[in-house]
Structure 1
């Protein structure tokens, strides 16, 4: 008898494999390409932020913090949300610090979704949403954003609602398209959801990257949405520290109570000195208030360079992503084009088909412009061959 035998395992996520981000980043490294695929900055954060964290460590703030998050950080988040969006969340009962936004999203889904419940996702969408819903035993209901514009189609959203619908996941500013929901969009969603018991999970990690003088329309601004919403944001995105994996969730107390039950059992709590450092750093609102202008400048540099190619630029209203139509450049599908671009021109991008469950290919790829100016110039010099 063979005692060294691993029992057979039936996967809970049969459709999940190596992500396109990992594949393209590995190919970029192999080909020494400029990696404009995965969404992370290649520049450092403010030295004042790392100094604040270092100071917290030196002070001995290195043991477990409260499960819900360091009080000073929860208070800073509540003050920021109130100042920007006009809704006051109680730091004690309605703000939770999380191990990044991705943990926040799966925790919210696990808190409200039961086996057999339906959850609406708007495609193209971030690649964690669907596996999160499946792990909770829910049924994914895919509703496409309008191809080309990526605007929400409220007729299709309303038609997707059934008595089994438990939640809808909304992402604005939107990854991968860079589209931003308007006030009219939020009011329409509020109207559609009003007669239902559907929860909203609002992925707002790019909240401080909205351009051309437009405001970010957080669900916190809309009473009918805020009352049913888990609002998710990310310090990593806002402060250029994606590897720190610290985020937060704002939600009504009754929802936060259930959220924290799951949070307590899947991560318990979050890195202590980083929480203290972030709380200290948030005393100055300038870094997030000035972030739209910071990234708009990079967007405009990148778009100006791309305009000299045969790639067709799609609008970028927010985020640090720029999508382009490749149909005038190549007859390849999106994935093959991205591999060709990385191998032959030395610039990595991501196919939008990776953000659709059925691999819908509309000849559009996504670049990330959260890069140093010299990185963007190098990429544009290479892309000029197009």
Structure 2
């Protein structure tokens, strides 16, 4: 029989999605894969009902319905502080997962190099390899997850075609400062490099931190490919609506890639999602407050359980230190914890290029009662670890 592609040999299936299956197997509370257990805003649910009844039910324009692109351009222009042309500078995709792949394939040729900060969301390296490029890893150093300026300069000296920037960061919850972003911007200009941003948590930033859009920095829109989605902002991860925003010369290529990858995002969902894009500014302030409260509830419970962690500034993830329980496999520990404690997390090693096995990732995008139940179970983690294999 013919052999399959060898470019898949260097990465595994998604560890995050695997942990969801393990959580389901043992009936564990799923704090691994980052999706809420609460409903989207009522306005979106009602809009979805209308779209199911009245449509549209057929293909939309490949790169997104006119109404969706116009509403998205209006919203993002306001928040990003730049004027976005809905007809020339947007492609609507099937989630931010496709948006990132579209961005990578639009920017990179086989053999190009791409800077990836480590830890990273697991798709980034897979995307890089699938488009034939080579990742260059730059560590974000625990526990504050800051990058070393000299290490980043050395990475740029390898003449990368692009840098991937997740801000706010998954898995760390780090929000990059203006000084950090400007340092990256200066290097991107000096070495003529694209910056591909993943900003799906753009509106989930804890008080008092602030998200700064990389494309809004002086001279950066021209070389930035901004990727995001509606999934996290409106609690509709299953709708799979994402987008790419970039200058028209990039979007011309992005449309081609998107067209042949997926043809287009779901037409009725684009129609229904207009209710979210047209939300008043207060919605986004309330979202920050909501997730700040959820974070504080979860961190208070971790304190009571005696667990060490890094306080997230944005997104809805917490990196927890498990070094007191094991100096071995964090994968085995997470499987044991799902089975014996009833709470599922993601082993941190799946996010790091470095050999780091003492961190795991929880998420707190859950109802308060779900978080409290998970925390009640985690109170017994240390006791069960002493009795079990850990």
User: Smaller-chain TM-score range?
Assistant: over 0.9
Residue 193 of structure 1, aligned match among 188, 192, 200: 188
Alpha-carbon distance between aligned partners in 2 of 1:75 and 1:117, rounded to the nearest angstrom? 34
Alpha-carbon distance between aligned partners in 1 of 2:171 and 2:143, rounded to the nearest angstrom? 12
Partner of 2:340: 344
Alignment check: 8 A CA contact 1:95 1:256 kept: yes
Partner of 2:156: 161
Alpha-carbon distance between aligned partners in 2 of 1:174 and 1:10, rounded to the nearest angstrom? 31
Residue 130 of structure 1, aligned match among 117, 125, 130: 125
1:339 CA displacement = 2.0
Alpha-carbon distance between aligned partners in 1 of 2:10 and 2:236, rounded to the nearest angstrom? 30
Q: Please, which moves more after superposition, 121-130 or 331-340?
A: 331-340
Alignment check: 8 A CA contact 1:239 1:287 kept: no
Residue 257 of structure 2, aligned match among 248, 259, 262: 262
Partner of 1:3: none
Aligned residues: 380
Residue 307 of structure 1, aligned match among 303, 315, 321: 303
Alpha-carbon distance between aligned partners in 1 of 2:151 and 2:159, rounded to the nearest angstrom? 16
Whether 1:327 and 2:323 are equivalent positions in the alignment is yes
Alignment check: 8 A CA contact 1:21 1:37 kept: yes
Residue 142 of structure 2, aligned match among 111, 128, 147: 147
Q: Deviations over 1:90-121 (max 9, x none)?
A: 11101111110010001111111111110110
Change (3 A) 1:75 1:154: farther
Alignment check: 8 A CA contact 1:333 1:361 kept: no
Partner of 2:385: none
Partner of 1:32: 27
Q: Please, which moves more after superposition, 259-268 or 324-333?
A: 324-333
Partner of 1:249: 244
Alpha-carbon distance between aligned partners in 2 of 1:24 and 1:56, rounded to the nearest angstrom? 34
Alignment check: 8 A CA contact 1:86 1:220 kept: no
Give secondary structure in 2 for the equivalent of 1:37: coil
Alpha-carbon distance between aligned partners in 1 of 2:43 and 2:24, rounded to the nearest angstrom? 31
1:331 CA displacement = 4.1
Give secondary structure in 2 for the equivalent of 1:255: helix
| Structure 2: 5+ residue stretches without partners | 383-390
Q: Deviations over 1:188-241 (max 9, x none)?
A: 111121222210100000101100122211113213322211111110111111
Change (3 A) 1:256 1:305: same
Give secondary structure in 1 for the equivalent of 2:196: strand
Alpha-carbon distance between aligned partners in 1 of 2:271 and 2:43, rounded to the nearest angstrom? 13
1:302 CA displacement = 0.5
Alignment check: 8 A CA contact 1:133 1:139 kept: yes
1:166 CA displacement = 0.5
Within 5 Å, give how 1:48-197 maps onto structure 2: 48-162=43-157, 164-197=159-192
Q: Please, which moves more after superposition, 190-199 or 145-154?
A: 145-154
Partner of 2:213: 218
Alpha-carbon distance between aligned partners in 2 of 1:163 and 1:121, rounded to the nearest angstrom? 13
1:40 CA displacement = 0.9
Residue 294 of structure 1, aligned match among 290, 295, 316: 290
Partner of 2:387: none
Partner of 2:4: 9
Q: Deviations over 1:241-298 (max 9, x none)?
A: 1111101111111111111121111112111111111123322234333211111111
Partner of 1:279: 274
Over the aligned positions, Cα root-mean-square deviation in angstroms equals 1.6
Whether 1:207 and 2:202 are equivalent positions in the alignment is yes
Alpha-carbon distance between aligned partners in 1 of 2:157 and 2:339, rounded to the nearest angstrom? 46
Alignment check: 8 A CA contact 1:311 1:329 kept: no
| Structure 1: 5+ residue stretches without partners | 1-5
Alignment check: 8 A CA contact 2:228 2:244 kept: yes
Whether 1:354 and 2:314 are equivalent positions in the alignment is no
Q: Under a length normalisation based on structure 2, what TM-score does the superposition of the two structures give?
A: 0.93
Alpha-carbon distance between aligned partners in 1 of 2:55 and 2:301, rounded to the nearest angstrom? 48
Alignment check: 8 A CA contact 1:52 1:281 kept: no
Alpha-carbon distance between aligned partners in 1 of 2:158 and 2:6, rounded to the nearest angstrom? 29
1:364 CA displacement = 1.2
